[in-house]
């Protein structure tokens, strides 16, 4: 019985290979993305472990977390979802509303969080 999910003579499957140089380029990009995202994550973990909440740097540390997380998210979209290979206008149409929306969510979270804290302190 012949399997219908394997089409051996399909032109797409015959052209799916690439040269060794292209393979090396793809592997280098994968390694670069992995090392970059790992380094940023290790830096974030280092900050989270060594900066204490009651220190003078805690507010700055929170903003660094937010900025690095946004940068990582944008880089992941650019590399893994191949948005970096698109035209600049298309990238802007996708990324600018994303960053505006995330900024709005951060603003709401910080504003409402401090409003709740102010309300709690005024009661006690």
pLDDT digits (tens, 9 = 90+) for 63-76: 888 889 888 888 88
Q: What is the mean pLDDT of the chain?
A: 80
Under a CB-based contact definition with an 8 Å cutoff, are residues 84 and 78 in contact?
yes
Which range scores top for mean pLDDT: 8-12, 42-46, 52-56? 42-46
Express each pLDDT in 8-34 by its tens digit.
Answer: 555 555 555 667 888 888 889 889 989
pLDDT(119) > 80: no
Residue that the structure tokens 């090392």 belong to: 35
Could you tell me which residues come within 8 angstroms of residue 83 by beta carbon, excluding any fewer than 6 positions away? 77, 90, 91, 94, 95
Q: How far apart are the first and last CA of the chain?
A: 78
């Amino acid at each position: 019985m012949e399997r219908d999910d394997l089409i051996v003579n399909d032109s797409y499957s015959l052209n799916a290979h690439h040269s060794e140089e292209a393979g090396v380029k793809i592997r280098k990009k994968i390694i670069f993305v992995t090392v970059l995202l790992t380094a940023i994550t290790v830096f974030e973990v280092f900050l989270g472990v060594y900066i204490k909440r009651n220190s003078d740097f805690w507010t700055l540390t929170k903003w660094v977390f937010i900025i690095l997380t946004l940068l990582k998210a944008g880089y992941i979209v650019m590399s893994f979802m191949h948005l970096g290979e698109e035209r600049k206008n298309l990238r802007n149409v996708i990324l600018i509303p994303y960053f505006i929306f995330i900024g709005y969510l951060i603003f709401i979270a910080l504003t409402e969080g401090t409003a709740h804290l102010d309300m709690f302190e005024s009661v006690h």
